[in-house]
A and B are shown apart, each in its own frame.
Chain A
Amino acid sequence: MENRYSRQLLHWGQEKQQKIETAVMLVAGVGGLGATVAQLLVRAGVGKIYLVDDGFVDAPDLNRQLLYSEEDIGSSKLMLACDRLRRINSSVEINPLSGSIDSDFSLPADVQIVADCLDNYLSRFQLEAAIPDETYLVHAGLQGEEGQVLTLQKGRSQLLRQFYAGAEQPDGPIPVTGDTATVIAGLMCNELFALIDGQPKLLNRCLVVSLSDFHISFLDI
């Protein structure tokens, strides 16, 4: 498929495309954020992507988790995501990582960038702990019509667990809609592509987005 990237090449050029095609990334979580982030990375032609998620598709996921449909309820998100993503772009190497993100999780040695698409602080902190120094972590989170995206470099930036010290998971399900999840996932991918190109826009700088009034602001950390 010679011309599959022709439209994005018009925008970011061959040099950036080559960087994307040799990038190795981990997408942690293939739910509201991760299902869209992984899909956009695969469509753009990222060279190799590892995925990790121990969840199963549930009916409340279907409002925003764009890789899944009704017949998938009860099935492994990880296996479904790998299958769907390979069908979208067979030139991308897609590797599922079984298991959970816990204290035993270890990052494959060739991962350059980690996309934190997780849905709880504990898993985020455990993911961060597994990342070696110098590796980049792009974090995002959302709630209602609010969301944030932030890039950190392990060993050079503050740790996410320091930034979020004291933050606790709210009781019960977090309000999340498909539009907000998709917007934050898109912003996250924009930052991931910029980072692959060596020009992150959110390194130590948290982008805070309110769709409630279409407002953005930045929080330096």
Chain B
Amino acid sequence: MVQIQFYSLLRLLLKQEKLELPAVENETVGQLLDRAQQSIDTPFLDKMLDCDGQLHAGTIILINRYNIRHLDMLDSKVSDGDVVAFFPPGAGG
């Protein structure tokens, strides 16, 4: 299984903190996002991706604690047992 964690405004939008999906061999985090949206009633990909399918600057995606921008972005591979976190941080102070 892959555990997906939603934080902050995404958690509020989706009304859930976590989602578990069966792992799929060679799946990327971008493909996992598509699968996550299909299993949730509320569309949320538009909050995270622009119209070209590129990641918005407002949301961080971590795979096992590491930002995917240090991996292969949306092409980063996700494996059985991984924890994927979606976090839109507060920027102000």
Contact = CB atoms under 8 A, between A and B. Distances in A.
B7 A166 contact: no
Given A166-B69, A168-B58, A212-B12, A148 B90 contact: yes
Interface in B72-93: 85, 87-93
A167 B92 contact: no
Interface string B1-17: 00001011101100001
B57 A166 contact: yes
A176 B65 CA distance: 28
Interface residues of B, number: 25
Interface stretch (A12-20, A38-46, A87-95, A115-123): A115-123
Most interface-central of A31, A32, A164 (chain B CB within 10 A): A164
A158 to B, nearest CB: 7
A141 B88 CA distance: 11
Interface residues of chain B: helix, strand, loop or mixed (majority): mixed
Nearest to B9: A146
A175 B17 CA distance: 24
Interface of A: 29, 31-34, 116-121, 140-144, 146-148, 158, 162-170, 174-176, 206, 208, 210, 212-213, 215, 217, 219-221
A142 B91 CA distance: 6
B67 A143 contact: no
5 contacts: A146-B9, A163-B60, A166-B67, A170-B58, A212-B12
A141 B58 CA distance: 13
B69 A142 contact: no
Contacts of B87: 206, 208, 219
B91 A169 contact: yes
A164 B9 contact: no
B62 interface: yes
Nearest to B6: A217
Contacts of A210: 8, 11-12
B91 A217 contact: no
Most interface-central of B7, B55, B62, B91 (chain A CB within 10 A): B91
